[in-house]
Homo-oligomer: A and B are copies of this chain.
Amino acid sequence: MRKEYLLTPGPTPLPPQISLAMARPIIHHRTPQFQEVLKEVSLGLKWVFQTNNDVFIISSSGTGAMEAAVANLLSSGDTALVVQGGKFGERWSEIAKSYGIIPEVIDVEWGKSVSCEEIKKKLLANPKIKAVFTTLCETSTGVDNDIAAIGAVLKDTPAVLVVDAISGLGAVDIKTDIWGVDVVVSGSQKGLMLPPGLGFICVSPKAWKLVEASKSPRYYLDLRKAKKAFDKNDTPFTSSITLIIALNEALKMMKSDGLEYIFKRHKTMADATRAAMKALGLELFAPTAASDGVTAVKVPQGVDGEKLVKTMRDTYGVTIAGGQDELKGKVFRIAHMGFIAESDIITALACLEKVLTQMGYKFDLGASVKAAESVFLKQ
C-alpha cells in the first residue's frame, strides 16, 4: 500500500496519460499512420529545442546521442575543447578519446559553472579547436552553464558549439538558434517526461559541414542516414514506436502549457527547494549557477549520505538521488524536472526531515516545508 515518489534527475515520473499511450496496441512503423506521428513529433521537437533545424530521433540513451555528436562532427586527430565540471562533462572527453579525438580540457571545479573568458582564451590559444563540448545542466553537480554567453563567444569563430542538454531540455531555457548553439543533444527521460530510450540531436548548417567531412566510422549513429530518412518522415532503422507515440503525447502536453510557463514552474520548484535547504541549515553544493532542474545539497557532518538516500527510498518510498563518482555520499540531489509538482517537493521535504531527524541531525521540524510553502504562495 506504500505510495512511491520519484524525484530523480532522470528518469522522472510519467504523467498517467503518457503511460497509457505506451500501452496502446502497437502499430507498424512503416505506415502512413506512424508517419503522421513522426511528422507531428518533428514539429514538436523543433519547438521544444527552439530550432529550425531537424531534430533527429535515435533509439538510444542520451549517451548514444552524445556519441552521435562526436562521431559525426569530428575525426581521429581532431582537437575539441571540453568543459569538464562533472560526470557528464567528463563523458564528452571519454567519447572523444575513444574516437582518437584530442580533448583540450577546461577543468571546472565541481559545483561551479565554466568561465566564458577561459573558453575565449583557449580558443585563441589553439586555433585547431573544431568544436566546443559543454553541458547545459550538469546533473551530477546541479549546475547550469551560461550557454547564451558561450554561444556569443563562439559566434564569430570557426568552432561549433555542442551542448549536452540531456538534463536541461524542457526544464530550463535553451534558445538553440538565437544563442548560436550548433548541436544540442538530449534524452527522453528528463524534462520530456518519458521513459529512457530515445536520444535526440539537432545540427545547425554550420555543423552539418563537419558531418559531411567526418571520417569517423559510424553506421547506426550516422546522421547522414538519419537525415535521408527524416526527409521522408521516416527513421533509418526501426523506430522505438511506443516511445515515439508517448513523445507525441508529451509534446502536446508541453505545448498546451507553453515553454515560458514550463520554465517558470521549474524555477519556482527550484527556488522552493533551495529555500527549504537553507531553512534546514543545509548548504547547497552549487550556491552560484544552481540549475532549476535539480538541486544538489551537501550532506551535513555526522550524517551518512548514502544511508539517507537509501532510507528515504527503501523505507519511505521517496526516491531522490545520491552523489555520483567523487561526490558519492557527499551530496544528495532532489530533482524538480519533468512531471514533478509542488506536492512532490512538499512530500520529499517532509520525508527528508523525517529521516534527518531519525539520523540525529538537528533543525526545527517543519522548517523546510514551511519555507517551500512560502515560495509557492508567492507565485
Contacts and interface: CB of A to CB of B under 8 A. Distances in A.
Contacts of A29: 11, 196
Interface string A67-78: 100010000100
A240 interface: yes
Nearest to A242: B195
Given A59-B59, A217-B216, A238-B187, A28 B319 contact: yes
A189 interface: yes
A238 B196 contact: yes
A313 interface: yes
- Give chain A's interface residue range (CB within 8 Å of chain B): 35 or more
A23 interface: yes
A231 to B, nearest CB: 19
Interface of A: 4, 6, 8, 10-11, 13-14, 19-20, 22-29, 31-32, 59-64, 67, 71, 76, 94-95, 98-100, 187, 189, 195-197, 216-222, 237-243, 313-314, 319, 321
Report whether over half of chain A's contact residues are helix, strand or loop; otherwise say mixed. Answer: loop
A60 B59 contact: yes
Nearest to A222: B98
Given A6-B26, A64-B220, A238-B189, A243 B197 contact: yes
A13 to B, nearest CB: 7
Contacts of A240: 61, 195-197, 240
B28 A19 contact: no
A60 to B, nearest CB: 5
A216 B67 CA distance: 14
A85 to B, nearest CB: 20
A237 to B, nearest CB: 4
A217 B19 contact: no
A32 to B, nearest CB: 7
A61 B238 contact: yes
B63 A237 contact: yes
A95 B19 contact: no
Looking at A26, A216, A221, A319, which has the most chain B CB atoms within 10 Å of its CB? Answer: A26
